[in-house]
Structure 1
Amino acid sequence: HRFDSAQLINIDLSYPDDFDLKEYVEKGGFGILNSDKIIIFVGRFQLKQGQHLFETPLSSDQVVTMEADGWFTLKASVPDTMYFRWWLLSLGDKVEVLEPNWLKDKIVETTRHTLSLYE
């Protein structure tokens, strides 16, 4: 996701006149939307696993609060996408979803089901 350089090429592209790439991305266009709503996400991240979020924020309104125990709390407005949920699950015990409650419940349900496969 990091570019060192880019090169302009001459290719004819067609797209709708009212298309706005920034708006498309912000609404979750590349992340398989579950709904068209933006959620206010609050989570606790282990510093070592989540420090990339300082360099690549989840949103322009992201707020990070450092904690004394090697964790930080992050609040951000994000699209409700499958990609976002998969990413949260990939962090395992290095993230705790605090809000919204329905997302926290979904993560708990998925984690319990996964654990049941190994019992």
Structure 2
Amino acid sequence: MTLEAEIARPVAWLLQETPLTNTQSIEPIPFSEWYSLTARIPDDQQTLWWLMGMGAKVKVTAPTAWREILKSNAEQVLAHYHEEN
């Protein structure tokens, strides 16, 4: 599958040092501190977990299914902090 995402500078640096795959492309987004990432990646849980671990430093735009999973996970985490004890 093809991953498309906007990534923060530290993630761009990390992926240049340790690429997700040899097919990845990282380009600066004009007039922004962010970078555009495109990479052919496996459709697996390990890669999805890695993306979750990047938190707010990665904004997945495709595939849509992964974007929705990441969004749902972020909403669940946020809900934990809004719960009253």
**Which bin holds the TM-score, normalised by the shorter protein?**
0.7 to 0.9
What is aligned with 1:44? 6
TM-score (normalised: structure 2): 0.85
In terms of Rg, which structure is larger? Answer: 1
1:48-59 mapped onto 2 (5 Å cutoff): 48-59=10-21
What's the % identity of the aligned pairs?
26
For these two proteins, the number of residue pairs brought into alignment is 81
Are the aligned partners of 2:52 and 2:70 in contact in 1 as well (CA < 8 Å)? yes
Find the aligned partners of 1:95 and 1:48 in 2 and give their Cα distance.
Answer: 10
Normalising by structure 1, what TM-score? 0.63
Which runs of structure 1 show a deviation greater than 6 angstroms over 4 or more consecutive aligned residues?
none
Q: Whole-Å Cα distance in 1 between the matches of residues 14 and 32 of structure 2?
A: 18
Q: Tell me which residue corresponds to 2:64.
A: 101
Residue aligned with 1:80, SS: coil
Q: Which runs of 5+ in 2 are unaligned?
A: none
Q: Measure how far apart 1:48 and its partner are.
A: 2.1
Using CA pairs under 8 Å that are at least 6 residues apart, name the structure with larger relative contact order, 1 or 2.
2
RMSD between aligned residues: 1.2
